[in-house]
Amino acid sequence: MRHPKKSFGFIVHEVARLLRRDFNQRAVNLGLSQAQWRALAYLSHHEGIRQVTLAEYLEIQPISLGRQLDYLQENGLIERRPDPTDRRAIQLYLTPAAEPVLERLWEHAAETQKAALNGIPENEHDALLTLLQRVKLNLLSNDVI
């Protein structure tokens, strides 16, 4: 039987869990849940995305995302706008108030990355990211959905 510490999937899962934990500890002062900052961060790269599409990307149910978005909207960080091409759909946009929050999120992300890569020579950082991107692309190309 293979030991979990030698399993690629186990190690990747544990690294992802520890990255989230480290980031959450740093970002606790922002007053956002993990689900809320994930939605905000993803939206920062995909403004105008439909609410249902964002739920798919975040791998959560649209109703759960709706509650997260309600909080972000109530706090003035996002706005929902009708989709001009489909009156049933809602598009999501950041407000100017989201910018300082996102700046803090990226600062915390940089701190977490620095901690995670501590002791790894800088010339190996790009190689690590390149390999992880290849793994991601391999899995996406095998996606059966």
- Amino acid identity of residue 131, one-letter, is L
pLDDT for 108 equals 93
Q: Which of 29, 46, 36 is nearest to 67 (CA)?
A: 36
pLDDT number for residue 2: 65
DSSP assignment of 83-131 equals ETTEEEEEEEEE-TTHHHHHHHHHHHHHHHHHHHTTTS-HHHHHHHHHH
Per-residue confidence of the chain (145 residues) as pLDDT tens digits?
A: 666 677 899 999 999 999 999 998 988 888 888 888 889 999 999 999 999 999 999 999 989 999 999 999 999 999 999 999 998 889 999 999 999 999 999 999 999 999 999 999 988 999 999 999 999 899 889 865 5
Please, what are the domains in the chain? Answer: 35-102 (1.10.10.10)
CB atoms within 10 A of CB 19: 15
Neighbouring CB atoms inside 10 A of 94's CB total: 17
Which residue's entry shows tokens 């149910």? Answer: 61
pLDDT the model gives residue 118? 95
pLDDT score recorded for residue 94: 97
pLDDT recorded at residue 29? 86
Helix axes of 34-45 and 98-116: crossing angle, nearest 10 degrees: 100
What Å distances lie between residue 42 and 13, 53, 58, 82, CA to CA?
A: 20, 11, 8, 19
Q: What is the pLDDT of residue 104?
A: 94
If you ran DSSP here, which 8-state letter would residue 50 be given? B
